[in-house]
A and B are shown apart, each in its own frame.
Chain A
Amino acid sequence: MSWINEKGPLSDVVLSSRVRLARNLADTPFPTVMNGVDRDSVVNRVRRSVLGQDFSIQDYYQFLTIHDLSPADRQILVEKHLASPDLMEQAQGAAILVNQREICSIMVNEEDHIRLQCIFPGYQLNEAFVYINKVDDAIEDQLPYAFDEDLGYLTCCPTNIGTGMRASVMMHLPALTATGQMKLILQTLAKVGITVRGLYGEGSEAIGDIFQISNQITLGASEEEIISNLDVVAKQIVERERQSRYALMKNDRLQFEDNIWRAFGTMTHAKLMRLDEFMNLLSKVRLGVEMGIIPNIDIQGINELMIMGQPAHLKKFGLQNSDQKNLDAVRARVAAQKLGHNQ
C-alpha cells in the first residue's frame, strides 16, 4: 500500500497527490529558536496527541525519532516522499509519525512544530485533503495551535501563513517536455500563483520528466478554493500531455515505439547505470507502459522500480543481497529483474 504500489485515478500521467499542512503550537517558540527542552516537549506532546486516539480512521502510527534512525533509514523516508530532507538534518529533538499504509506522515520540529502530510496515489487531491483535514482536527482537539483571525495559522516562515497548506500533484510529462512546451507552461502558471518544479533536478530541466505543481499562495483563499484552482490547472496539463503524446505517436509511430523499446532494451541489459541515466530511461519505459505499448508491466511496478533505484533504497535492500559493491551495477541488476529479464 501507499502511493507507490496502489493504482490511482489518471495514473497514466499523475503519480501522486499530496497535501501538506503547517502548524505551530501557540505556547512554545518556533523551531528556529527552540532550546532542547522545548524541542523534546513538543515531540512528546505531538506524539501523545497522535498515538492517544484513532482519528476515526483506524490506523496505526509508527513513531520514529530522527536521532535514532540510521542515515540510510532517514534517506529512505525521504525517497518515499514521507519526510523532507530538512527534517533529516535536525539532529536532536525531531521526530516523525508514519501511518501503516504510508499515506500519512506527521513531521515534528521540521521548519514548523508540526507538518502533516498526506500522499495518495494518482490524482486524488481532494481525497488527500479530506484525510489530512481529519488528522488536523484530531490533533487540534489536543494541542493549542498558533492562529490569528487575519493571518490564519501562524507559520515559522511568513510565506506559509493563512491556510498553511501546500497542495501538490506529481506528474510525468515526457511529451510536453519533448515538444518544448514546459517553459511556456512554467511561465503561464507562475502568473496564476502556481509553481512548477522538477521533482528530481532543477527548474524546467527535470530529470526523468517528473514535475510537481503546487499552489504558491496560502493566504486569502480557502483550502477548497486553493484545491479547486489547482484542480483546473492539473487537469488541463493532463489533457495537454495526453494530446501531445498522441500527436507524437501519430506523427511517427515507428520512431515513437523505437524510442521506448530502446530504453527498455538498455534497462534490461545494461550492466552499469547511473541515477540520472536510470531516471531518463525509466521515463521512456514509463511512457511505454502508460501508452499500452509495453505489455505485462503495470504502473505500480514502474513506481516501485523508481523508488528502488534511488541511492538509499539500493544501499539498504540491494547491496546486502549482492556480491557487487558498485551501486550502479546493483541498480542495473534491479532494473533488469524488475522489468522481467533475469540476468
Chain B
Amino acid sequence: MLCEKCNKNPATVHVTKIINNNKTELHLCEDCARERDDFNWFTSFSVNDLLTSFLGPMSPARSSGSIPVVKCDKCGMDYQKFKKLGRFGCQNCYEVFKDEIYPIIKKVQGGAFKHTGKRPHSQNIRMRTSREIEELKRQLENAIKIEAFEEAARLRDRIRELESRQQQEG
C-alpha cells in the first residue's frame, strides 16, 4: 500500500480515529506522518528524535548548489551526516553549522539563547592552556613515534595557536 498523501513511499503508519462514532482511517509513510502535528506518532520518543525531526534540508542558498556543501574543517562532519546522527563531531561544528543549528537550538531550548549557568573558572584558563600545551606536546611526540604525520601536523598547528594566544594574553 502506498502513502495516501504523497503516493510515493510505502505506507508504514496506519491510524484509525474514531470521533463521535465516525471512523476514519489513514495510511501514511513515515515522512508524511512526521509532518502531521495532531498526533504523537512515536511512542519511544527521545530528545534526539525531536532534534532530528526539526532538522530540515539545508538552508536554501546552500542546497541550490551555488555554495558548496559545508564541511567542518576540523573534524570532517558534514550537514547530511549531522542530520542523520543528530550529533556534532567537535566544538568547531557549532561555528560551521551556525545558520542551520541556531534556530533549532532556540526551538528545542524553549527560546532561550544565552547560557547563564556555571562557567569554567576563568582564573584557571591560563593554567589550563599551559597544561593543554603540555598534553598536546606529549601527543605530538607519540604521533611522530608512530609516524602519524598528518596528525602530528595538526597537533603542531594547535600548539602554535595556543602558544601565540598565551603570549598575546601576556
A interface, CB within 8 angstroms of B: 24, 26-30, 32-33, 37, 41, 45, 111, 133, 136-137, 140-154, 156-159, 161-163, 165, 193, 195, 202-203, 216-223, 225-226
Known: A30-B88, A149-B115, A202-B43. Is A144-B75 also a contact (CB below 8 A)?
no
B87 in the interface (beta carbon within 8 A): yes
Query: Chain B at the A interface: mostly helix, strand, loop or mixed?
Result: loop
Q: Nearest Cβ distance between residue B113 and chain A, in whole angstroms?
A: 7
Which of A137, A140, A153, A159 touches B50 (beta carbons < 8 Å)?
Answer: A159
Residues of B within 8 A of A153 (CB): 115
Bound state CA distance, A27 and B158, in angstroms? 8
Is the CB–CB distance between A30 and B120 below 8 Å? no
Q: Which of B19-27, B31-39, B56-64, B123-131 contacts A (4 or more CB under 8 A)?
A: B123-131
Is the CB–CB distance between B89 and A33 below 8 Å? yes
Residues of A within 8 A of B45 (CB): 203
Is the CB–CB distance between B87 and A220 below 8 Å? no
Residues of B within 8 A of A148 (CB): 91, 94, 115
Chain A: CB-nearest residue to B142: A37
Residues of A within 8 A of B127 (CB): 141
Known: A150-B114, A158-B104, A217-B109. Is A144-B43 also a contact (CB below 8 A)?
no
A-B pairs, top 4 by smallest CB distance, nearest first, are: A220-B112, A152-B115, A33-B89, A146-B91
Bound state CA distance, A157 and B131, in angstroms? 27
Is the CB–CB distance between A219 and B75 below 8 Å? no
Residues of B within 8 A of A32 (CB): 77, 85, 87-89
Cross-chain pairs A/B with CB under 8 angstroms, 13 sampled:
A136-B118, A144-B128, A144-B132, A151-B105, A152-B119, A153-B115, A157-B86, A158-B88, A159-B48, A159-B50, A203-B45, A220-B109, A223-B118
B168 in the interface (beta carbon within 8 A): no
Q: Nearest Cβ distance between residue B90 and chain A, in whole angstroms?
A: 4
Q: Nearest Cβ distance between residue A159 and chain B, in whole angstroms?
A: 5
**Contact flags (1/0) for B87-100 with A, using CB distance below 8 Å?**
11111001000000
Known: A26-B91, A29-B90. Is A219-B76 also a contact (CB below 8 A)?
no
Is the CB–CB distance between B151 and A37 below 8 Å? yes
B160 in the interface (beta carbon within 8 A): no
Bound state CA distance, A26 and B121, in angstroms? 15
Residues of B within 8 A of A195 (CB): 47
B108 in the interface (beta carbon within 8 A): yes
Bound state CA distance, A142 and B50, in angstroms? 35
Bound state CA distance, A164 and B151, in angstroms? 29
Bound state CA distance, A323 and B105, in angstroms? 56
Chain B: CB-nearest residue to A140: B120
Residues of B within 8 A of A141 (CB): 121, 124, 127-128
Q: Nearest Cβ distance between residue A1 and chain B, in whole angstroms?
A: 28
Known: A27-B136, A37-B148, A156-B88. Is A220-B77 also a contact (CB below 8 A)?
no
Is the CB–CB distance between B44 and A202 below 8 Å? yes
B170 in the interface (beta carbon within 8 A): no
